[in-house]
Amino acid sequence: MGKVAVGAAVICAATVCAAAALVVRHRVRTSAKWARAMAIIKDFEERCGTPIGKLKQVADAMTVEMHAGLASEGGSKLKMLISYVDNLPTGNEKGLFYALDLGGTNFRVLRVQLGGKDGGIVSQEFAEVSIPQDLMVGTSDELFDYIAAELSKFVAQEGPEFQLPPGRQRELGFTFSFPVMQSSIDSGTLIKWTKGFAIDDAVGQDVVAELTRALERQGLDMRVSALVNDTVGTLAGGRYSNKDVVAAVILGTGTNAAYVECAHAIPKWHGLLPKSGEMVINMEWGNFRSSHLTLTEYDYSLDAESLNPGEQVFEKIISGMYLGEIVRRVLCRIAEEVSLFGDTVPPKLKVPFVLRTPHMSAMHHDTSSDLKVVGDKLRDILEIPNSSLKERKLVVQLCDIVAARGARLAAAGILGILKKLGRETFKDGQNHRTVIALDGGLYEHYTEYSKCLESTIAELLGEKVSESIVIEHSNDGSGIGAALLAASHSQYLGVDEP
């Protein structure tokens, strides 16, 4: 029995040793896996780095490109488009006006009753409509017929608080937030699509004429009196409520900026100088590109696989359509190289754009001790059922890197505009406030992004100058702004009220 007991003890000991060895090997493998995962994150973080010196180089490059774009057509990656808006709202606008705001995957229809001097906005209503994905890559008629039909439904719901004088035609401001070459305040040719749209037969067409024909097909008697970019609309809406607004930036699905330029500082303008001496410039800054931008292999692959490779590079690293996708690409790389979420890569993690920026924002803002929101998003969107706390923390870290880079580069772009306007330094004897109107879902809803943007602007400008620079959220500025510009360009201006 003694020998049997000894043998059993030996076998037992050997089993324990083997098991221990397996545990050790597993721990070693796990440790090595995590070391490799963190190395990928660290490398990505370094390549996304935006120290102040780098951001100032980006701002200087933005200013240089602004000058080049104003000098001649095609002189810069920045289009610096003349908007034909040379008089921003004064506050005296009066009457019923509509706006259509086509800015991305949704569009809004809006009506406002303006009370004239000191009356402000008396009443307003809006409706938001999603655009079916197939219409984003269909034909021009299909898209504009869908929009006109929804607008017609909205007009049919007009209540008694909205008063159109008898015998007058309804007037509409059309916010169209894609690159357009305008030839007047109410006409413009589509240069190219962005933000996932690819409707070939609309390129080169006058978008006001396309919409007008669709309205006629609906039997809707409405005149498009102003065509504006969403950022120009935001600038107009901002100026209506604050006379210190000099520029507007949209940070949403896509991104853009517009600002008020001195007319004599636009060499490519060959018409008569406007009486106001000013002209609103639509920068189309999403297409900005510079060697100083911090681009990574994930950005290059995203760009190469996009609908518009080589275009809208700035937009692809700072705007809402792309931030979640960058996070997904890095996670997919880690999953492939180190089996982060199991032996096989979760199939959903391989699907482009499955992880949207609102999902990313929700994970980034998760303050629970177990990061429950992160776990829920990984399970519900990427079908990763049992993520560990360690994995969830890695995801949050990744969201932080991508959001911070985007926000800080956006801040550098704003500094570039301030430099062009000569508002980036403190001048003795001058005590002017400079207000930048911001709008867009990314800025409004992604708090970590907007906080980082604002703190970076203050960091770039320094304490003294930043006290006079104000970032102001212009909620629905693009829609209201389009209605205001429709009012200031009404065919009935100067006609007495009946």
Q: Which residues are catalytic?
A: 108, 177, 230
CA distance 22 to 131: 55
Strand partners, 226: 173
Is the distance from CB of 439 to CB of 475 less than 8 angstroms? yes
CA distance 378 to 385: 7
Closest C-alpha to 172, from 227, 95, 98, 228:
98
